[in-house]
Amino acid sequence: MAFDFTVRKEVNDCLPYIQGETIDDVKERYNLSKVIKLGSNENPYGPFPHALAAMKDSLVTLNRYPENDFINLKKLLAKKNGVQLENIILGSGAGNVLEILAKTFLNTGDEVIIAKQSYRLYREVSKIMGAKVIEIPLTEDYQFDLSKFLSVITSKTKLIWLCNPNNPTSTLTDKHAINKFVEKLPSHVQLIIDEAYADFSNPDDRPDVIDYVKNGKKVIIVRTFSKYYGLAGARMGYAIANKDTVQAYDTVTEPFSASRIALAGSYASMTLDKEEVAVSRQKIIEQRDKLTVELEKLGCKTAKSQANFIFTQIPFEATWFCDEMMKRGVIVRDCTPWNYPYHVRITIGTPAENETFLKTFCSLLEEKKVK
């Protein structure tokens, strides 16, 4: 991207984030009265009742910095995960945490390793810090090629970024593979595991990543309140890491790097909304599995999802398909930018939204047959 010459070279080497189409944009463009958005991996059931009330109540105290709220959420997260207060990082969304981690660790010329088909932010925050990004393609069944990751590690390798479950493929790399990988990592390499979607995965399959931190491994776990807790608009993320990493991170980030509103909603979601949150998870998983079956019936090869979205291969070019679905009032994500030109990513919505997607998809299939 060519910005003004005064902009840092590293910024010019990166691409700005282009957000997906909004509901209002699509309504106006195609003169539609109703549009459903299944393109951003949001939780259709949040925010939950107590979180909503807590956020409203916090408004009257916005003239004050959130000292107590900040510490209270850290304490709650530490207790939930069986670690110390000194192991917890807070930030205004997981993306903010990832960015600060890159600023904390990376020097110009350092190397980082990422999956080629994964969350774009790992690439961008690393490149902005002047790091060399080495990209490893996923396997044919959408898994991390961890042996290849290990084979490209050099003395310059500083960070490895893993998204587990992976975005956009929805696939989970199981605990046995991750455990072996962690044991083989050299001591100069820091592994960052992004678990934004882990709460929708099978607990028996995913690694117990907290043990890595407890056992002194160079592993950082990044999580978010956007997906499972339905607070995408509040912007609240956190990380679990060793104490030295947390101290270094706090040196780089701004004080109180989360709003009082987000802190209040996050705390209430974890404490007072636990049952409602768990019920929403079950609904999403049931709808995910049901939609997977229906897509398979239509001949769409669909990855085994362990997230709140589905990654599926369709019989059309994805860019064309997403445009046609949008014209009919359904927003899904084109996976062409990840080098999957015949794949789309579908967020699990409410039963009614998922049914609308299926009906619209089937209608499009029929139209193509007639032509």
Model confidence pLDDT, tens digit, residues 261-289: 999 999 999 999 999 999 999 999 999 99
What pLDDT, on the 0 to 100 scale, is given for residue 339? 97
Per the domain annotation, does 14 fall within a domain? no
With a cut of 70, say whether residue 134 has pLDDT above it: yes
Number of separate domains in the chain: 2
What pLDDT, on the 0 to 100 scale, is given for residue 368? 77
φ, ψ at 173 (rounded to 5°): -85, 120
CATH number of the domain within which 180 lies: 3.40.640.10
What pLDDT, on the 0 to 100 scale, is given for residue 2? 61
CATH number of the domain within which 357 lies: 3.90.1150.10
With a cut of 80, say whether residue 20 has pLDDT above it: no
69 and 93 inside one domain = yes
What pLDDT, on the 0 to 100 scale, is given for residue 1? 58
Q: Which of 254, 272, 290 is the last residue of a domain?
A: 272
Per the domain annotation, does 7 fall within a domain? no
- Alpha carbon separation from 245 to 168, 194, 221, 222, 342 (Å, rounded): 28, 16, 12, 13, 41
Q: Which of 225, 249, 272 is the last residue of a domain?
A: 272
What pLDDT, on the 0 to 100 scale, is given for residue 6? 77
95 and 235 inside one domain = yes
Per the domain annotation, does 12 fall within a domain? no
Domain extent for 169: 49-272
Model confidence pLDDT, tens digit, residues 64-97: 999 999 999 999 999 999 999 999 999 999 999 9
What is the C-alpha separation between 35 and 186, in angstroms, rounded?
49
What pLDDT, on the 0 to 100 scale, is given for residue 3? 65
What is the C-alpha separation between 284 and 349, in angstroms, rounded?
7
Model confidence pLDDT, tens digit, residues 345-361: 999 999 999 999 999 99
196 and 151 inside one domain = yes
Average pLDDT, the chain: 96
With a cut of 90, say whether residue 150 has pLDDT above it: yes
Q: Widest CA span of the chain, in angstroms?
A: 64
What pLDDT, on the 0 to 100 scale, is given for residue 313? 98
**Hey, what are 357's tokens?**
């997607």
Model confidence pLDDT, tens digit, residues 154-204: 999 999 999 999 999 999 999 999 999 999 999 999 999 999 999 999 999
Model confidence pLDDT, tens digit, residues 245-258: 999 999 999 999 99
What pLDDT, on the 0 to 100 scale, is given for residue 72? 98
Per the domain annotation, does 10 fall within a domain? no
Per the domain annotation, does 13 fall within a domain? no
What pLDDT, on the 0 to 100 scale, is given for residue 317? 97
296 and 262 inside one domain = no
27 and 105 inside one domain = no
